[in-house]
Amino acid sequence: MRPFLSVLGARFRMQLQYRAAALAGLTTQVFFGLIIIMIYRAYYANATETPPIAIEQLVSFVWLSQILYAMMPWTGAPELNALARSGDICFEMLRPVGIYWRWFARCLAWKVSAPLMRGIPMIILAGLFFGLGSPASIFSGFLFAFSLIGVALLAASISVIWSAVLLWSVVGEGLRHLSWFLVGFFSGLMLPLPLMPDWLRTFCEYLPFRGLVDTPYRIYIGSIAPGESLGPLASQFAWIIILIFLGRALIRLGENRLTVQGG
């Protein structure tokens, strides 16, 4: 536990140094949020039948997705990608504790610190000026906060897997294209799941990515009522456990490969 917490803390402090980047990110995201809302408003103004979610809920979705954006596991933690490329990875193996939880700690700190720095100002801005509604109820708000913990853990467990893949292929370019699609689309970040055709929505609900955006968002707006939220939350945490096992297995395999074929 001591190595894990130490890495978590150090990585967190490291992220806090990037204040300028956080500010730039915040500005860009507010700008994009406003544009996306304008597009949705135009669609809704010309809708021929009643859309499955109200425009106010959609505006909330846009802001929540902008806040969650920085938490998405698009890639492994940047410094881990660099490690695989530069060969500094050998130092990771020179330690008396396993790689997995150290990497998980790095990814988790990265996925928590970035949204804290951008997310909190954005919630305030969007809530005051840009139409982010409040949670459907106090209980929904409480469950939403709980599901955010799940988002962070889920994002970290997926991030570590992207990093682990780099133990095989040094160039993560191909992977990055794939991860943008998997994470961006199947999580409901690009298009809310309720707006998808039924068959596609059902399909997405079976995937781990849904727990990244769809679950917290729908709990927030009340589309999943507090009484119905047990299932989605349970699936979110079940996937976390499955992906942790998968990541550990991958890293063990990758380590063995490195020790046989050289770094």
Partner 1 sequence: MSQIRVENLSKRFRVAERPSGRWGSVRGIFSRQYREIAALDGLSFSIEPGELVGYVGPNGAGKSTTIKILSGILTPSSGTCEVLGLCPWKQRRQHVANIGAVFGQRTQLWWDLPVEESFELLSDIYRIERSRYGRTRRALIEILDLEDHLSTPVRQLSLGWRMRCELAAALLHEPPILFLDEPTIGLDSVSKLALRDHIRRLNQERGVTVILTTHDMDDIASLCSRLMIIAEGNSIFDGSVEELRRSVSNNRRLTVDLKRATDPIDIEGATVVEWQSHQAIFEYNPDITATPELIQRIAALLPLQDLKVENPEIEEIIARIYRDKDLLRS
Residues that bind partner 1 (CB under 8 A): 2-3, 5-7, 10, 13-14, 17, 79, 86-88, 90-91, 93-98, 102, 258-263
| Contact present, 100 and 156 (Cβ < 8 Å) | no
Shortest distance (Å) from residue 181 CB to partner 1: 24
Residue 160 or 243 having the CB closest to partner 1 = 160
**What is the largest distance, in Å, between two alpha-carbon atoms of the chain?**
64
CB closer to partner 1 out of 13 and 41: 13
**CA-CA-CA-CA torsion for 215, 219, 225, 231, nearest 10 degrees?**
30
- Residue (48 or 261) nearer to partner 1, CB: 261
Q: How far is the CB of 105 from partner 1 (least distance, A)?
A: 11
* Own/partner long-range contacts of 189-193 (Cβ < 8 Å, ≥24 apart): 189/65, 189/68, 189/69, 189/72, 189/213, 192/53, 192/58, 192/61, 192/217, 193/218
User: CB of 201 within 8 A of CB of 194?
Assistant: yes
Element (H, E) at 4: helix 2-15
Q: Which residues of 95-118 are buried (b: 16+ CB within 10 A; e: fewer)?
A: eeeebbbbbbbbbbbbbbbbbebb
Nearest to 57 by CA among 226, 221, 224, 220: 221
CB of 83 or CB of 143, closer to partner 1? 83
Residues 119/151, Cβ–Cβ less than 8 Å: no
CB 101, min distance to partner 1, A: 11
Beta carbon nearer to partner 1, 102 or 118: 102
Closest distance of CB 22 from partner 1, Å: 14
Beta carbons within 8 Å of 255's beta carbon, 6+ residues apart: 93, 99, 167
Least separation, in Å, of the C-beta of 243 and partner 1?
24
CB of 120 to partner 1, least distance (A): 22
Nearer to partner 1, 2 or 50 (CB): 2
Q: How far is the CB of 127 from partner 1 (least distance, A)?
A: 32
Cβ proximity to partner 1, 14 vs 207, nearer residue: 14
